[in-house]
Amino acid sequence: MSCPRIEVDLAKIRRNTQTLVSRLGPRGISVTGVTKAVCGHPAVARAMLEGGAVGLADARITNVQRLRAAGLTDPITLIRTPMLSQADQVVQSCEVSYNTETLVISALASAAIRNGAVHGIVLMVEMGDQRDGILPENLAGIVQQVMHMPGVALKGIGANFACLSGLAPTTLQMSNFCDLANEIEHRCGPILNVVSGGSSANLPWALGGHATGRVNDLRLGEAILLGIEPVSGDRIEGMHTDAFTLVAEVIETGAKSTPSATALVNPTLARRRIAQASGVSKRSIVAMGHQDTDILGLAMPFGSTLIGATSDHLVIGTPGTPPTLGSEVRFQMNYNALMHAMAAPDIEVALVGDPPTPPAQHTQGKVGHLALV
């Protein structure tokens, strides 16, 4: 196999999904698998669906189109507010989209009418993350507007936590969000089929000992893909944290003398150095750099040290025998490193583990429920 590459263990992604589905299901919460970190990779999406995810979600229409081109017919939700310029593409590729702007919803309604469809709308509410969302006091008025727009149908409400602020949701915030769903139904009349309470950062709350109220959906990406809880970075019990491995080839190995201080007058170079070796160190250079991934999001192989990186080179130090020329070095990635590596044009994706099932197996049985997310 070529280098650099990402080895993706589909069986571990499937099992991670199954684990979360089995834990959240008894609490009345379904799992929507988020594929944005893997750029809408069809095999990863199918592994999530095989693991019990009731639907898929992504933030970019190009990723959704990739899933459709691969033959996936399951309903897909666009979880970033659509661009006005992409209204027709959103309606043609997605059953539902998350929205905060009435002008965008109006454009989606017009696009749906042109395409002979009815597009589902989930309204995102600002509950404290300070990113996207309608202020709670404005929600009822926008609900009324959406209800009177032909071409669209209100499906529910959603919220984000720990995306911009990095703060996990509190029990009070989640209780207020559930109360908001009840209030909207009381004032406006519609039944909210979807009350999407957040992302992987909501898992400690969702799996806690308290009631989960109206929340019946979580949008899970990082927890499924990496087996960790994003806010703390802790491994989720029973989950695989090594479903993705980044592999790069050694292109130079040997000892280097430490440069003198006069060679580092450029402050940019000084900032790029991660670890300072003393005297002569054993180093290896692998053919991968900042252009390929988030270097600081890589876990170094056991016993190795990150010395530094440039656009195309990653320099690691080894206390013992360095890897041989042409050998492969394997790295685990955090979420940022995974996102960048999956989007890098020069990194191949190699599927390992159980092969994915043909897409036809996912087109029946769950469609009625999937249409709600």
Q: What domains can you pick out in the chain, each with its CATH number?
A: 9-235+354-370 (3.20.20.10), 244-333 (no CATH)
Q: Determine the 3-state secondary structure of 298 from DSSP.
A: strand
**Contact predicate 155/120, CB 8 Å:** yes
CA atoms within 13 A on the CB side of 38: 34
Residue 241's alpha-carbon distances to 33, 228, 234, 236, 263, in angstroms, are: 17, 7, 10, 9, 40
Pair 177, 137: CB distance under 8 Å = no
| Residue 356 pLDDT grade (very low, low, confident, very high; cuts 50, 70, 90) | low
Distances from the Cα of 6 to the Cα of 25, 122, 314, 337, angstroms? 31, 34, 16, 11
Q: Which residues of 226-263 are buried (b: 16+ CB within 10 A; e: fewer)?
A: bbbbbbeeeebeebbeebbbbbbbbbebeeeeeeeeee
**Model pLDDT for residues 63-79, shown as the tens digit of each residue:** 999 999 999 999 999 99
Average pLDDT of the chain is 88
Structural contact between residues 94 and 73, judged by C-beta atoms closer than 8 angstroms: no
299-308, 324-333, 340-349, 353-362: which range is least confident on average?
353-362
For residue 198, the SS3 value is coil
Band of residue 355 on the pLDDT scale cut at 50, 70, 90: low
Angle separating helix axes 102-114 and 136-147, nearest 10 degrees = 20
Residue 19: burial class (beta carbons within 10 Å; 0-12, 13-18, 19+): buried
Return the pLDDT at 354: 73
Q: Which secondary-structure segment (H or E) carries 150?
A: none
| The residue type at 306 | L
Q: Kindly report, residue by residue over 18-40, the tens digit of the pLDDT.
A: 999 999 999 999 999 999 999 99
